A = this chain, B = another copy of it.
Amino acid sequence: MSKPLILVTNDDGMFAPGIKALVSVAAEFGEVVVVAPDSPQSGQGHAITLTSPLRLNKVDVFEGIEAYECSGTPVDCVKLAKSIILKDRTIDLCVSGINHGSNASINIIYSGTMSAAMEASLEGIPSIGFSYLDYSFEADFTAPRHYAKEIIAYTLDKKLGDAKLLNVNIPLLPISDIKGIKVCKQAQGNWTEDFVEAKDPRGQSYYWMTGEFYLESEDSDTDIWALNNGFVSVVPSMHDLTHHTAISSVKGLENSN
């Protein structure tokens, strides 16, 4: 059997420690091609670049690994990888990350890391987004590497059935304190913003976005519960935003005219 072809991307850019860790794990399983943004793209969500052209440059960043930097968003990276760089090849797996910071709960919607993995899954590629609850540049990637290896092995071996996309978050704990993996659902939660206002030298106001996360439920079958209780959370995810159970509650609209 030929080695699997693994596409690696992220949203923190080519020089983040997280992608280096992920590339080295992925390289244990197959041929790795990296296509990542040429600058940090946190919070880009599922943004794509429509009104300006995209650049793609081959770079030598990871020893012995084919890699390209792209001027666009994480989703652009995946689209260019699929359509240009790996045009006539089958991508067996896409892994995105390892993100510096959580993408549990509602964070998935703002996350470039998860949007890149989501985009690959939309193209039919089994995909995994990895995030580590440590923002530090000096983060210790021992635990994330360990679990990334385990989850990639499982995915390549067992396939994922209906689940084409996994949202994996690793708690900030020594590996010996992590209790294992919990397959769970996205916790309902949100951010309350608190913009910081400042004045520029011309006296004009500008605003920096900050905020605080709050949880709407403490259910034990959610990713936030898993992380707070020492587990790695794995949420199978998909691209359906329909609120299925609410369809009946607005059915009356059909007769409103």
How many chain copies? 2
Main SS of chain A's interface residues?
mixed
**Could you tell me the distance in whole angstroms from the C-beta of A137 to the nearest C-beta in chain B?**
15
Across the interface, do B234 and A238 meet the contact criterion of CB distance under 8 Å?
Answer: no
Contacting residue for A237 out of B181, B236, B243, CB 8 A: B243
Q: Give the bracket for the number of chain A residues in contact with chain B.
A: 35 or more
A138 CB–B CB distance under 8 Å:
no
Which chain B positions have C-beta within 8 A of A235? 241-242
Across the interface, do B48 and A180 meet the contact criterion of CB distance under 8 Å?
Answer: no
Across the interface, do B243 and A48 meet the contact criterion of CB distance under 8 Å?
Answer: no
A42 CB–B CB distance under 8 Å:
yes
**Could you tell me the distance in whole angstroms from the C-beta of A209 to the nearest C-beta in chain B?**
6
Contacting residue for A205 out of B56, B118, B209, B257, CB 8 A: B56
**What would 13 more interface pairs be, CB under 8 Å, given A45-B45, A162-B243?**
A44-B45, A45-B75, A46-B47, A46-B109, A55-B205, A154-B253, A180-B254, A182-B254, A184-B247, A234-B250, A237-B241, A238-B242, A238-B246
